[in-house]
Structure 1
Amino acid sequence: MTEAFNEREARKRYVRRRQGIVLGCVATMLVIVLVIATLFYTHVLGRSAASSAQIQPNYGVQAPCAPKDKDGNTAKYVENSGVSVRILNGTDFAGLAKAVGNALINRNFAVTTIGTNNNQQVERTIIYFGKNAIPQAYTVSSNFTDAIMRMDDRTDKLIDVVLGPTFNDLQTQKNVPAAGGGITSIKGCVPADKLRNVPKAAQHPAVR
């Protein structure tokens, strides 16, 4: 009888010990998860990667330098009215393209189309342009705070702006370079004719 009692007590102690170990492990894991979540929430973790991505010129995409004239002078920002822009919504926020398009119209850009991006999903606003519209592309880009300039193989002068989920607002007009001023090329840019493997342009109505 004593042996049976001792066996039951030993089994109970074993079960309690196992439960204690399991509960201890769970509690430890929860503490670790809480600490990591707190570090991310306070941006202690993740800051380096995000900062590194943001400080890359053109967010890691190689862009063409502003062209120069025969005298070696850098091209200038053009008048907004001379830039044809198509605005495409690449986000899930309905009406965003229309809002941005109207804002650019108010800045005298020639907005030709406001629509939806039907190509691949985008993570950041992208400005597409061809080799014959680099000053126009830089002019449009100066109105955005978080956009990538990407040259494709189009030969006309239409500028495509595909809005990404990182878009917040346009650059304040007082911080936009004035037309006629020399373009500041993106750091690390290369001459347009040196860019290799430029993507194929999306179908669009040509603007001459």
Structure 2
Amino acid sequence: MQQYSDERQARKQYVHHRQVRVFSTIAAILVVALVVSVFVFFHTIGKSNADVPQAQTNYGAPLVCATNDPKKSPVAYMQNGNVEVNVLNGTKAVGLARAVGDALVNRHFNVSSVGDFTSRKVERTTIYYGMNNIAQAYTVYSNFTDAKLVMDNRQDGVVSLVIGSTFNDLTKKGATPAAGAQIKNIKGCTLPSKVDQAKLPQDFRQPKK
């Protein structure tokens, strides 16, 4: 009987020691995971904080205000049907321009054409517009969460939307401003009256001079 009791006690001790080793290993893994998570978390925060100024300033591109004089009646978002857009695919994803174009048509935008951009390595979705269609550009812009606005020297009212690799989806319909709502100037933008139009980038749709 004593031998049986000793064997049972030995088994209990073995199981206990084994459990201690298992729990100790799990605890060590959790500690390592916690340390890695904290490092990644703070590294990400640091990176995000570094990126905030760029995101707030149109991803580094010069930004033109929607209105010339804040004291006057602000420009309003337009009816989607009054905004003409051509959609271009700046990525290697086949059919992306058509898909985005169809999505904009479903939102009643006047999509005049879809096709491929001159480059298939565009990173940031870009909305090209001119001095004569600022309100149209901001109306398109409100339907995207990751796009930037770029003014060029185009003279017509067409907005060119070039889809980049950062594109994921359109802004949810309920989150877009209603037609007629006032467009607020973005901090750091340049008033249209202060823009030197002679220095604007050339309209990429035109032959290079």
Q: Shorter-chain TM-score category?
A: 0.7 to 0.9
The answer for the alignment partner of 2:51 in structure 1 is 53
Q: Distance in 2 between matches of 1:44 and 1:92?
A: 34
TM-aligned CA distance change 1:40 to 1:151, over 3 Å: farther
TM-score under structure 2 length normalisation: 0.72
For structure 2, the 5+ residue unaligned runs are: 1-32
- Tell me which residue corresponds to 1:179: 179
CA distance in 2, matches of 1:47, 1:94: 34
The answer for the alignment partner of 1:199 in structure 2 is: 201
Contact kept? 1:80, 1:139, Cα under 8 Å: yes
1:62 matched residue in structure 2: 62
Query: Hey, what's the Cα distance between the residues in 1 that align with 2:168 and 2:58?
Result: 17
Q: Give the whole-Å Cα distance in 2 for the aligned partners of 1:82 and 1:96.
A: 23
Q: Could you report, residue by residue, the CA deviation over 1:48-85 in whole angstroms, capped at 9, with x for unpaired residues?
A: 3344324432112221111358x811110000000000
Partner letter of residue 127 of structure 1?
A: I
The one-character-per-residue Cα deviations of 1:114-138 (angstroms, maximum 9, x if unpaired) are: 1111147321000000000000000
Distance 1:165 1:188 in 2: 26
- Mapping 1:76-115, distance limit 5 Å: 76-115=76-115
Q: 1:137-176 CA deviation, whole Å, 9 max, x = no partner?
A: 0000000000000100101110001011100000001010
Q: Is structure 2 residue 156 aligned with structure 1 residue 156?
A: yes
Answer yes or no: is the 8 Å Cα contact 2:92–2:121 preserved in 1: no
After superposition, the Cα gap between the structure-2 partners of 1:75 and 1:117, relative to the gap in structure 1 and judged at 3 Å, is same
- Supply the AA of the counterpart residue of 2:100: V
**Structure 2 equivalent of residue 125 of structure 1:** 125
**Offset, 1:193:** 3.2
Change (3 A) 1:165 1:188: same
**Amino acid across the alignment from 2:183:** I
> Which structure 1 residue ranges, 5 or more long, are not aligned?
1-34
The superposition leaves residues 86-123 of structure 1 with CA deviations (integer Å, 9 ceiling, x where unpaired) of 10011111111111100000000000111111147321
RMSD of aligned alpha carbons? 2.5
Question: Identity rate of aligned residues, in percent?
Answer: 42
Distance of aligned partners of 1:115 and 1:51 in 2 relative to their CA distance in 1, 3 Å threshold: farther
